[in-house]
């Protein structure tokens, strides 16, 4: 059974950093691209970042470029999202999602999400 479990969320002040983790199990992690997707009541679902199977290619939405870094450790079956210079508009529930091996793939499995609140 495919499982994706996020951790690392919480309350953080604007301008500070937070690192999310996603532990994967039930599949060969290194064979799949991975992604982070966030959700807010006002903006709905927003793709944040994706990473290729080996980690050599990464993609970001414009609003997080230069502030967020997606990475993965295939030996640990874990992906990460390092979030720096956080802003109030980054407040959201963040989901870990599995993508196919191709760049253009849907998100075929999702985690249950972790809440990130950016507030002073």
Residues of this chain that bind other proteins (CB under 8 A): 4, 44-47, 50, 59, 61-62, 95, 97, 103-112
At closest approach, how far in Å is the CB of 73 from other proteins?
22
At closest approach, how far in Å is the CB of 13 from other proteins?
28
Nearer to other proteins, 8 or 14 (CB): 8
Q: Are 19 and 83 in contact (CB under 8 A)?
A: yes
Dist CA 70 CA 51 (whole Å): 7
Nearer to other proteins, 12 or 79 (CB): 79
Nearer to other proteins, 13 or 44 (CB): 44
What DSSP element (H or E) covers 36? strand 34-40
At closest approach, how far in Å is the CB of 74 from other proteins?
22
Dist CA 59 CA 70 (whole Å): 8
- Residue 40: which of 104, 91, 83 has the closest Cα? 91
Dist CA 118 CA 42 (whole Å): 16
Half-sphere exposure of 49 (CA within 13 A, CB side): 22
Nearer to other proteins, 80 or 95 (CB): 95
At closest approach, how far in Å is the CB of 37 from other proteins?
8
């Amino acid at each position: 059974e495919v499982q994706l479990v996020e951790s690392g969320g919480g309350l953080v002040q604007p301008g500070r950093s937070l690192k999310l983790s996603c532990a994967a199990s039930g599949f060969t992690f290194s064979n799949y691209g991975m992604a982070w997707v966030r959700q807010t009541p006002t903006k709905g679902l927003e793709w944040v970042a994706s990473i290729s199977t080996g980690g050599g290619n990464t993609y970001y939405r414009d609003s997080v470029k230069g502030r967020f870094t997606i990475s993965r450790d295939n030996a640990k079956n874990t992906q990460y999202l390092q979030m720096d210079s956080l802003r109030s508009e980054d407040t959201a529930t963040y989901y870990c999602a599995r993508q196919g091996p191709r760049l253009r793939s849907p998100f075929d499995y999702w985690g249950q999400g972790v809440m990130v609140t950016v507030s002073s």
